[in-house]
């Protein structure tokens, strides 16, 4: 009898047993693509906002709006043209420092982001977009309105929000319509504004278009330091001019201070009809001022409450972050929708290809009140958004004009301070 040589051949049972061990070993060594297919690489999104410092609350709203959009897009299957690739948000904190905005933008670009968003404050956005242009990475501006941002011939800068120049012209048109609809002539106003780029940009745009609207005249443009603690001098100067309306652009702290001073000095006029005060859109504006905030109106961007997706998104925002939402959330959410739509159409992570797709954007499904799809002109500006007039009443801010987006009736002219019941 011959001896059986071990190793000459394997029995079927031995082969299957050893093959099973090998398969477990392969999986343990990290080769899931053999069995399940490799997950597509994430698409990196950069977002720079003031997450600390005096503008941190507004910057956090903007960041959270982008974050919610990223989460919603990922939940819906990610970027389908890239095999369902998920988006990953990388955040940067620019505080309120343009140099910090530049360094944070550069850091995120070197981390491999395909597109950038931000930066809330116009002068920081101007600095950050210079860096993005240098590295040829598209930058979508979601909140900053300074005209200069899209007036430098940059190829990689786009803005979903209206630039100040266009918004100012629409503000004058709104005044004409409100005057006609309420049968109340609005002939004069005083413009109170913070002294930074936000306020200066609005001053220049209002002055530029003033001649086109001869029925209304701004008697004076009164600037105050952005972080002022006392506005008595400026308010008394405005009071002496006896304007029909007070118009303003403010952040939160100075908007509250302005209204308190108008009340303390009993400045009566037809109403406060702000041209674009981001501070007046903040829930804490009404909460802090109480009945002093009643009747304050603001010509600002507004959420499209008629779109069921908008109501759902804002309800989820309140639950997700345990705080009231504000309009900045919607604007930043929309900017991220534009970015995702462009990545989808580009079917690429390449910033240059995404830039070309952004330039061809024709996005009808967004959350801000507007007329027509989001499109960008040759300067990178979207002209589809439309400002709405919103008014505070009993601690709530509601749209009152135009009628197709209104949820309440405008009160104008407003009662005199002596006629109001203020605790």
Q: Which two tokens mark 230? A: 């006392």
Of 359, 379, 395, the position where a domain reaches its end is 359
- Whether 264 and 133 map to the same domain: the answer is no
Q: Which two tokens mark 45? A: 């999104």
- Whether 193 and 140 map to the same domain: the answer is no
Residue 62 lies in a domain: yes
- The Cα 30–Cα 55 span in angstroms is 45
- CB–CB of 117/160 below 8 Å? no
- Whether 95 and 176 map to the same domain: the answer is no
Evaluate if residue 278 carries a pLDDT over 60. yes
Q: 311-360, pLDDT tens digit by residue?
A: 999 999 999 999 989 899 999 999 999 999 999 999 999 999 999 999 99
- Whether 261 and 190 map to the same domain: the answer is yes
Residue 287 lies in a domain: yes
**pLDDT in the model for residue 37:** 61
What backbone torsions phi and psi does residue 368 show, to the nearest 5 degrees? -85, 150
DSSP 298-310: EEE--B-TTSHHH
Evaluate if residue 100 carries a pLDDT over 90. yes
Residue 8 pLDDT class (50, 70, 90 cuts): very low
Evaluate if residue 60 carries a pLDDT over 90. yes
- The Cα 173–Cα 166 span in angstroms is 11
- Whether 217 and 125 map to the same domain: the answer is no
Which residues touch 167 (CB under 8 Å, ≥6 apart)?
145, 205, 275, 276, 299, 387
- The Cα 213–Cα 374 span in angstroms is 28
- Whether 123 and 108 map to the same domain: the answer is yes
Evaluate if residue 30 carries a pLDDT over 60. no
- Whether 271 and 410 map to the same domain: the answer is yes
pTM given for the model: 0.85
- Whether 153 and 208 map to the same domain: the answer is no
Evaluate if residue 22 carries a pLDDT over 90. no
- Whether 271 and 391 map to the same domain: the answer is yes
Q: What percent of the chain has pLDDT over 90?
A: 83
For helices 164-181 and 197-209, the axis angle rounded to 10 degrees is 60
Q: What is the DSSP letter of 184?
A: -
Evaluate if residue 265 carries a pLDDT over 60. yes
- The Cα 50–Cα 61 span in angstroms is 10
- Whether 289 and 326 map to the same domain: the answer is no
Q: 133-143, pLDDT tens digit by residue?
A: 999 999 999 99
- CATH number of the structural domain spanning residue 252: 3.40.50.2300
**pLDDT in the model for residue 4:** 40
Provide the Cα torsion 318, 320, 323, 328; round to 10°. -70
Number of domains in the chain: 2
**pLDDT in the model for residue 111:** 98
Q: 218-244, pLDDT tens digit by residue?
A: 999 999 998 899 999 999 999 999 999
| Burial tier of 77 (Cβ tally within 10 Å: 0-12, 13-18, 19+) | exposed
Evaluate if residue 12 carries a pLDDT over 90. no
Residue 216 lies in a domain: yes
Phi-psi category of 390—alpha, beta or left, where left has phi over 0 and alpha has psi -120 to 50? beta
Which residues touch 383 (CB under 8 Å, ≥6 apart)?
162, 166, 375, 377
Residue 294 lies in domain: 165-300+387-419
Per-residue pLDDT, averaged over 30-45, amounts to 68
- Whether 291 and 175 map to the same domain: the answer is yes
Residue 367 lies in a domain: no
- Whether 279 and 409 map to the same domain: the answer is yes
Residue 232 lies in a domain: yes
- The Cα 26–Cα 161 span in angstroms is 52
Residue 89 lies in a domain: yes
Which residues touch 83 (CB under 8 Å, ≥6 apart)?
40
Residue 2 pLDDT class (50, 70, 90 cuts): very low
Evaluate if residue 13 carries a pLDDT over 50. no
Evaluate if residue 10 carries a pLDDT over 50. no
């Amino acid at each position: 009898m011959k001896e059986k040589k071990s190793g000459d051949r394997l029995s079927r049972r031995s082969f299957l047993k050893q093959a099973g061990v090998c398969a477990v070993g392969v999986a343990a060594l990290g080769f899931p693509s053999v069995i399940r297919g490799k997950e597509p690489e994430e698409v990196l999104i950069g977002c720079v906002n003031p997450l600390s410092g005096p503008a941190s609350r507004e910057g956090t709203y903007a960041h959270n709006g982008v974050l919610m959009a990223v989460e919603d897009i990922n939940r819906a299957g990610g970027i389908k043209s890239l095999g369902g690739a998920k988006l990953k948000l990388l955040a940067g904190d620019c505080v309120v420092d343009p140099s910090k905005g530049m360094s944070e933008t550069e850091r995120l670009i070197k981390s491999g982001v395909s597109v950038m968003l931000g930066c809330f404050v116009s002068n920081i956005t101007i600095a950050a977009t210079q860096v993005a242009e240098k590295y040829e990475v598209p930058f979508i501006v979601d909140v900053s309105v300074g005209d200069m941002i899209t007036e430098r011939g940059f190829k990689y800068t786009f803005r979903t929000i209206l630039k100040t120049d266009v918004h100012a012209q629409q503000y004058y048109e709104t005044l004409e319509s409100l005057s006609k609809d309420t049968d109340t002539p609005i002939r004069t106003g005083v413009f109170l504004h913070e002294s930074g780029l936000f306020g200066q940009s609005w001053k220049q745009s209002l002055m530029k278009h003033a001649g086109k609207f001869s029925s209304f005249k701004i008697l004076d443009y009164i600037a105050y330091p952005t972080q002022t603690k006392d506005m008595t001098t400026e308010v008394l100067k405005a009071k002496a001019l006896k304007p029909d309306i007070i118009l303003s652009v403010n952040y939160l702290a100075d908007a509250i201070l302005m209204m308190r001073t108008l009340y303390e000095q009993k400045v009566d006029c037809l109403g406060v009809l702000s041209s674009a005060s981001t501070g007046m859109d903040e829930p804490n504006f009404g909460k802090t001022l109480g009945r002093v905030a009643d009747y304050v109106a603001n010509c600002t961007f507004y959420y499209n409450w008629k779109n069921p997706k908008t109501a759902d998104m804002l309800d989820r925002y309140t639950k997700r972050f345990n705080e009231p939402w504000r309009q900045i959330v919607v604007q930043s959410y929309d900017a991220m929708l534009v970015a995702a739509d462009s990545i989808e159409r580009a079917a690429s992570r390449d910033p240059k290809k995404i830039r070309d797709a952004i330039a061809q954007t024709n996005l009808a499904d967004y959350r801000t009140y507007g007329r027509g799809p989001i499109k960008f002109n040759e300067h990178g500006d979207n002209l589809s958004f439309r400002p709405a007039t919103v008014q505070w009443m009993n601690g709530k801010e509601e749209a009152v004009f135009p009628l197709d987006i209104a949820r309440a009736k405008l009160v104008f002219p407003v009662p005199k301070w002596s006629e109001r019941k203020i605790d």
